[in-house]
Structures are given as C-alpha cells and as structure tokens.
Amino acid sequence: FGGLLALKWRPVMWLHLPAAAWGVAVEVFHLPCPLTRWENLFRHLAGQDGYGGGFIEHYILTLIYPAGLTPQIQLGLGALVLLINIAVYVRLIRRA
C-alpha cells in the first residue's frame, strides 16, 4: 500500500521505492531475509532452537496459502503487485 500512500503524501515514495525494490529482488532472486538470521541468532543466544527457511515460511505461509504456494504462484503474485505499483507511480509522474 506504499504506492497508494505516495499518491496522498509524496515523501512516502522515498521510503516505499527502496522497500518495493527490495521486495522485488527477494521474490525474483529468492534472497533470504536478514531478519530471520537475526531472529535465529537471538533464539540461539536465549538457548532456543532456530528454524530453517524464512519467517514467512515458518509462521505465516500455511495461514495464507493452506494448499501450498508454488514458485509460479509466488512470481505471479509478485508481478501483480509490481504492476499495480508501476501504475500508481505512472499516475504520480503524470500528476507532477
């Protein structure tokens, strides 16, 4: 929703654009989330076991996609979000 916020408050786009770029990179290149590494480190320091995979896969994936999330669905959803944001920023540029 950062792109939609940028329609109302333009300075938000300077926070949203890098976050959106990171999100696209994570989806396309299957990058690990650095927060998961930190969580596992702090769990280890607290004497707990960590977990494999990422935060989303561990805690949220089965709630959102009970039947499973294929790489094709994941890329399709990422492309949809990217297209929506491109449309929002095209509108922002035309307004400027």
How confident is the model over 23-81, as pLDDT tens digits?
Answer: 878 777 878 777 888 889 999 999 999 888 777 777 877 777 667 677 788 788 888 88
> How buried is residue 14: exposed, middle or buried, by Cβ count under 10 Å (0-12/13-18/19+)?
exposed
Are 39 and 55 in contact by the 8 Å Cβ rule? The answer is yes
pLDDT at res. 37: 86
